[in-house]
Structure 1
Amino acid sequence: MQRPLAYRMRPKKIEDIVGQQQLVGPGKIISRMVKAKTLSSMILYGPPGTGKTSIASAIAGSTKYGFHIFNAATDTKKDLKIVSEESKISGTVVLLLDEIHRLDKTKQDFLLPLLESGRIILIGATTENPYINISPAIRSRTEIFEVHPLKKSDIKEAIHRALKDKTNGLGKYNIKIDPNALNFLSTATNGDLRSSLNALELAAKSTPKEQNVIHIKLSDVEECLQKKALTQDKNGDAHYDVISAFQKSIRGSDVDAALHYAARLIESGDLNSLTRRLMVIAYEDVGMANPSVCARTVNAIQAANHLGLPEGRIPLSDVIIELCLSPKSNSGLLAIDAALDDVKTGNYGSIPNYLRDNHYSGAKKLNRGVGYKYPHHFKNDWVKQQYLPDKIQNAEYYHPKSNGKFETAFGIQYRKLKNAQQNK
């Protein structure tokens, strides 16, 4: 039986894993475990196709332990017993337990003593939040790591590997893939490498040869993914044009235009670009004028990533509409940039001694922390006290706007405090 390309290209060692470098990169937690040969059971949670099985496979390959894949929903306790018997012979077995959130109590009770003894290193894989959907008994015996949708560059790297690999990949075929097709293949699956690789294989095997070359075009990838490259062109310009128009439409408070450009991104499957830009927009363009919508944007993005497409479009639509119709302010952006300008140009002085850290022996002799006034000991939890260095003691970076009730109120309080500080 011919296994899918994504299955055949699974990494055999930690160094071969694409993406998730926050866990498997040099010096990171899983890499350290493998290097020290001190493995502990873990749960990997995140969207499909982001490398959970690959990490488990690479751990087993790097440590030379036996490796088994078990599905909590469909495999039986009898299958678990077979793995248990092997662990008696080999000493340790790595068990990838897919859909661990669906593990019933009978299988759980069978597994727990094996985890305690270390005979089985459990790597649970789930798309569900383990803190909500996995039993405390399993959670207490595992470390929990979140995996994230792969970046475009990660997926491109994996595709190039597959095209070169003559043993497990498509290297034995003479394949040419157009740059715009490669770009679309690396973005349209929303960080799901499995889908990208399997679509690549379908395109390679279903595209007729031309002069002994399999030439994969954008239209071939669109057909194999069943998605249209609405935001892509050969140089990627159209993709960034849509993102730019999306942000400018929200900044300009045009609900219908913003929804239109969001729909283009959704239809192309580019949830990553859409959600990342939404986060920027919330804090850059609305910001202090409606701070609570920034938190709601984060919540909507989390919901969309959890749901995936197409359902994820619903919370995103809600927050796009609210962002459009919210008052706008970029005062937060302007304030931090003004402060950064001073720091970059060296326009600042020494921190006042009474504000410096004094949690060490000898601090008092250096006059550190001496004379500091603790605001909570004073009326209204405020006391006049200089916080900026002498050189820039009168600097004002924040210039409040009055486009919304929140920042209007913040502006009044800011000016009141400034005046009290300067005895105006």
Structure 2
Amino acid sequence: MPQPLAYRMRPQRIEDVVGQQHLVGPGKIIARMVKAKMLSSMILYGPPGTGKTSIASAIAGSTKYAFRKLNAATDSKKDLQIVAEEAKMSGTVILLLDEIHRLDKTKQDFLLPHLESGRIILIGATTENPYISINPAIRSRTQIFEVKPLTPDDIKVAINRALVDDQNGLGDQNIRLAPEAASLLATATNGDLRSALNGLELAAKSTDPTDGVIELTLPIIEECVQKKAFSHDKDGDAHYDVISAFQKSIRGSDTDAALHYLARLVTAGDLPSIARRLTVIAYEDIGLANPPAAARVVDAVTAAQRLGFPEARIPLADAVIELCLSPKSNSGMMAIDAAMADIASGHYGDIPAHLKDAHYKGAEKLGHGVDYQYPHNFTNDWVKQQYLPDKLKNAQYYQPKTNGKFETALAQQYERLKTAQRDS
């Protein structure tokens, strides 16, 4: 049985990796490792289909090292021993270990000395947060890199490569992919290139040619990826227009409009976009005016992800209605953006000496921490002292709003503390 298109199209050189330019682009960390042939073991974490295996394959292809792939959950210690023996004979083996968060202690203990000797370059792949799910003994011997969802433009690049590659792709077939169908492939799979290529290959194999041409239309791609397009939009902008209208309707407190756009997203089966956008809205647009609403949105999103469609629509609708009818405030976002603007423009100054770390020998001679006053030793657990650098000591980033009871109370406390800092 032939290998799937997504497998055949895996890059053999680091330059051919689609997306992940923060890791494999010119001058970036993994590209530098490959160029210098100074590879270290690493963990790649991120959503499925975003290129973890592709990066490992490209590293091996670029360095000409042997490449082996195992699964931490299903492959045995004996399988690891075979890889280790190969490494002893050939010098270095790059081992892609999928689901590394499920590596048990026996396999881990076997691997550790081989990682330290450099005979095995481990590339662990996981969808879980490695800082939580991976044993510290492995984590301390690896560099950890986040692999991000691919953009629609990234996926379009990979689709076009597959359509013209006559060795590993579909270039030996006369395929005409409609622009709106290509846009659906690029957007409906939510950054999962494997799903996009699987959908493309299914469509190509299951569509009879007309006059020698396999015409892949929007309805065919909709069927093969089991997602509906928002509209016949050649550029794929409709997807982002719906998401934009969704957020703006909630921000504008129009419940019925927000539910309409939610319904479009639900119909398209786009749970990842809904989950991300609702979480952003909860903190960006409602924020400190109603913090419990943000917590309930997180709960609703978690429930929706566990339920899946069609039931997921119910907690999502509840969350949307509450966000629409909640008081609004973007003061938290505005505050951090104002602080970051100062940093970006070079306005940050030196940290006051009394706030610097004093937990090392010689710190006192430098004046670090000497005049620090511990607030809990004072009435109301507060004492006047300077925290900002001298050049920013009068900066005020937070501009409170009073659209909800919670932030109104915060605003009053903020002003009391600012007044006390100035006057006492």
**Common fold: TM-score over 0.5:** yes
How do 1:8-407 and structure 2 match up within 5 A? 8-230=8-230, 233-236=233-236, 238-255=238-255, 257-271=257-271, 273-291=273-291, 293-294=293-294, 303=302, 310=309, 319-330=319-330, 381=382, 400-407=400-407
CA distance in structure 2 between the partners assigned to 1:10 and 1:142 by the alignment: 24
Deviates more, 1:257-266 or 1:48-57: 257-266
> Quick one: distance in 2 between partners of 1:213 and 1:67?
38
Q: Counterpart of 1:42 in structure 2: which amino acid?
A: M
1:156-209, Cα deviation, whole Å (9 max, x unpaired)? 111111112111111122221111111110111111100100110111122222
Q: CA distance change for structure 1 residues 419 and 97 in 2, over 3 Å: closer, same or farther?
A: closer
Question: Do the aligned partners of residues 268 and 232 (structure 1) sit closer, same or farther apart at CA in structure 2, a change above 3 Å counting?
Answer: farther
- Verify the 8 A CA contact 2:184 2:236 in the aligned structure 1: no
Offset at residue 31 of structure 1 (A): 1.7
Q: Provide, for residues 237-294 of structure 1, a one-character-per-residue CA deviation record: whole Å limited to 9, x for no partner.
A: 5434422432233234455653442242244243454345335433443233124545
Q: 1:128 to 1:419 in 2, by over 3 A?
A: closer
How many equivalent residue pairs? 404
**Does the C-alpha gap of structure 1 residues 2 and 321 become closer, same or farther in structure 2, counting only changes over 3 Å?**
same
Task: Write out per-residue CA displacement over residues 341-390 of structure 1, whole angstroms, 9 at most, x where no aligned residue.
Answer: 99xxx9xxx99xxx77787xxxxxxxxxxxxx9997998757699x9999
Corresponding residue of 1:370: none
- CA apart distance, 1:80: 2.4
Alignment TM-score, normalising by the size of structure 2 = 0.78
Tell me the C-alpha RMSD between the 2 structures: 4.2
Is the 1:304–1:313 Cα contact (8 Å) retained in structure 2?
A: no
- Measure, in 1, the Cα distance between the counterparts of 2:12 and 2:307: 29
Q: What runs of 5+ residues in structure 1 fail to find an aligned partner?
A: 360-372
Say if 1:416 and 1:388 are closer, same or farther in 2 by CA, change over 3 A. Answer: farther
Alignment-mate amino acid for residue 105 of structure 1: K
Question: 2:138 is aligned with what amino acid?
Answer: I
1:231–1:242 Cα contact (<8 Å) kept: no
Give the distance between the partners of 2:65 and 2:192, measured in 1 at CA: 27
Structure 1 residues 139, 240: CA separation in 2 closer, same or farther (over 3 Å shift)?
closer
Which amino acid in 1 is paired with 2:49? G
- TM-aligned CA distance change 1:67 to 1:330, over 3 Å: closer
Q: Distance in 2 between matches of 1:5 and 1:296?
A: 41
Unaligned runs of 5+ in 2: 354-371
For residues 408-419 of structure 1, the aligned pairs below 5 Å read: 408-413=408-413
Contact 2:304 2:313 in 1 (8 A): no
Which has the larger displacement, 200-209 or 257-266? 257-266
Does 263-272 or 98-107 show the bigger shift?
263-272
CA distance in 2, matches of 1:333, 1:412: 19
Percent identical among aligned pairs is: 68
Residue deviations 1:291-339, cap 9 Å, x none?
A: 45457657876x5898695597677556434423321234567789999
Q: Distance in 1 between matches of 2:308 and 2:39?
A: 35
For the 8 Å contact 2:72–2:100, the answer to whether it is kept is: yes
- SS of structure 2 residue aligned to 1:144: strand
**1:232 deviation in Å?**
5.6
User: Residue in 1 aligned with 2:6?
Assistant: 6
Do the aligned partners of 1:231 and 1:264 also contact (CA within 8 Å) in 2?
Answer: no
CA distance in 2, matches of 1:110, 1:341: 49
- With 188-197 and 267-276 compared, the bigger mean Cα shift is at 267-276
State the distance in 1 between where 2:176 and 2:260 align.
34
For 1:270 and 1:331, locate their aligned partners in 2 and report how far apart those are by CA, in whole Å.
29
Question: CA offset at residue 340 of structure 1?
Answer: 11
Secondary structure of the residue aligned to 1:210 is: coil
Alpha-carbon offset, residue 110 of structure 1: 2.6
- Check whether the contact 1:231–1:265 (CA below 8 A) recurs between aligned residues: no
Separation of aligned partners in 1, 2:88 and 2:338: 65
Q: Which range moves more in the overlay, 306-315 or 86-95?
A: 306-315
State the distance in 2 between where 1:146 and 1:309 align: 25
For residues 283 and 80 of structure 1, what CA distance do their matches in structure 2 show? Answer: 46
Q: Is the 8 A contact 1:39 1:121 kept in 2?
A: yes
Give me the TM-score of the superposition, normalised by structure 1: 0.78
1:78 deviates by 3.0
Identify if the C-alpha distance between structure 1 residues 95 and 388 changes in structure 2 by more than 3 Å, giving closer, same or farther: closer
More divergent stretch after superposition (43-52 vs 96-105): 96-105
Q: In the aligned structure 2, how far is the partner of 1:389 from the partner of 1:54?
A: 49
- Show CA shifts across 1:115-162 (max 9, x none): 222111111112223333333332232222222221111111111111
Q: What SS does the corresponding residue of 1:265 show, helix, strand or coil?
A: helix
The one-letter code matched in structure 2 to 1:155 is I
| Aligned counterparts of 1:66 and 1:304: Cα–Cα separation in 2 | 43
Q: Against the structure 1 CA distance between its residues 319 and 141, is the aligned structure 2 distance closer, same or farther, given a 3 Å change threshold? A: farther
Per-residue CA deviations over 1:74-127 (Å, capped at 9, x if unaligned) read 323333232222111110001111122233333333322222221111111122
One-letter amino acid of the structure 2 residue matched with residue 222 of structure 1: E
- Partner Cα separation in structure 2 for residue 258 and residue 214 of structure 1: 40
